[in-house]
Amino acid sequence: MLIRRPPDISESEVTDQGLYLNRRQFIRKAAAAGAGLGLATGLSPIAACGGEAGGADDGGASQVDELTPHEVVTSYNNFYEFGTGKDDPARNAHTLRTRPWTITVEGECNKPGVYDIDGLLTRYPAEERIYRLRCVEAWSMVIPWLGFPLADFIDDLEPTSHAQFVEFRTLHDPEQMPGQRRSVLDWPYVEGLRMDEAMHPLTLLSVGLYGEMLPDQNGAPIRLVVPWKYGFKSIKSIVSLRFTREMPLNSWAETAPDEYGFYANVNPEVDHPRWSQKRERRLGELRRRPTLMYNGYGEQVAHLYEGMDLRRFF
């Protein structure tokens, strides 16, 4: 795992102060809102798991990941619960009510129950991690997320030996999420991970980005981030988690199984039926760059898929 600490970051990589919101301002805002985020003592400037991606995987061209501007991250989104246009979520997500908010835990575990988000945020202090996130439509972002490892939460839930997968569901409330009034998908949105994927240290439950609470359009108040997979695996506005014996049927695999598989690992050698996956455009840039296998995290995650046919299990 590549860990980028402040002494390793050159001046050219430092994000403009106007874009990266001051942590103290965020903490004051959270306290004033009474959100109970519990971040004041938990923030850590570890900036992990992004950084440089050079060598054979990118054709020998050394690349440095620069952060996608805050205004782009928060205005160009896929969140069909608020509309299918990229700017629809930023316009429409103000109807989402993020407090009170609970996550219902069910299935093959010893500690099922209903968990309040503010209790989770007190128990699991948030860290900062800089991850690439790639969407299927050949665009990508690099985002400084605030969150905690999903594995920490799962460990405390004590899954049984029968738990092979974790299924997640998004809030289903057409009054708050007007996009759910349209039959674009079979609501609510469902996603899933294999247990070893869910327990991987890169897998994050995010509660914020750029030093601020997670904006509604980005999946408030809590979402999944799985940086080596396509963005649609990073389910937003999570209200339930279920441990299952069988592979869950995730929403996009149900809707378009010829286009979207369960695993959704970034693999430039497997094209989407309607476009190539070999190159991508980082939002905020004009040029296109080669797509990296596993989105550049192959060293950390390739062992999870040894022996699998990655064209069949796409």
Which has the minimum average pLDDT: 27-36, 141-150, 202-211, 272-281?
Answer: 27-36
Q: How many alpha carbons fall within 13 Å on the CB side of residue 187?
A: 17
The predicted model scores a pTM of 0.83
For the chain, what percent of residues have pLDDT higher than 90?
77
pLDDT value at residue 41: 28
Specify the pLDDT at position 200: 98
In a domain, 313, yes or no: no
Least confident of 105-109, 160-164, 221-225, 267-271: 267-271
Q: Is residue 310 one of the residues assigned to a domain? A: no
Q: Is residue 131 part of a domain?
A: yes
Residue 3 pLDDT > 50: no
Element holding 222 (H helix, E strand) = none
Residue 312 lies in a domain: no
> Which of 102-111, 227-236, 276-285 shows the lowest per-residue confidence on average (mean pLDDT)?
276-285
Over residues 189-207, mean pLDDT: 98
Q: What is the pLDDT of residue 65?
A: 81
pLDDT score recorded for residue 2 = 32
Q: Is 260 helix (H, G, I), strand (E, B) or coil?
A: coil
Q: Are 243 and 108 in contact (CB under 8 A)?
A: yes
The sign one gets for the Cα dihedral 111, 176, 79, 126 is negative
Residue 314 forms part of a structural domain: no
Is the pLDDT reported for residue 31 higher than 70?
no
Residue 250: both structure tokens together: 């995730």
**Which segments of 34-87 does DSSP mark as H helices, in order?**
70-73
Give the least confident one: 8-22, 129-143, 172-186, 276-290: 8-22
Average pLDDT over residues 13-38: 40
Inter-residue contact 10 to 309 (CB < 8 Å): no
User: What's 75's domain CATH number?
Assistant: 3.90.420.10
Structural domain count of the chain: 1
What average pLDDT does the chain have? 84
Q: What is the pLDDT of residue 64?
A: 59
pLDDT at 306: 97
* Cis? peptide before 100, omega within 30° of 0: yes
Q: Quick one: average pLDDT of 261-268? A: 96
Q: Which domain holds residue 290?
A: 6-305
- Average pLDDT for residues 171-177, to the nearest whole number? 98
Q: Is 54 helix (H, G, I), strand (E, B) or coil?
A: coil
Q: Is residue 225 situated within a structural domain? A: yes
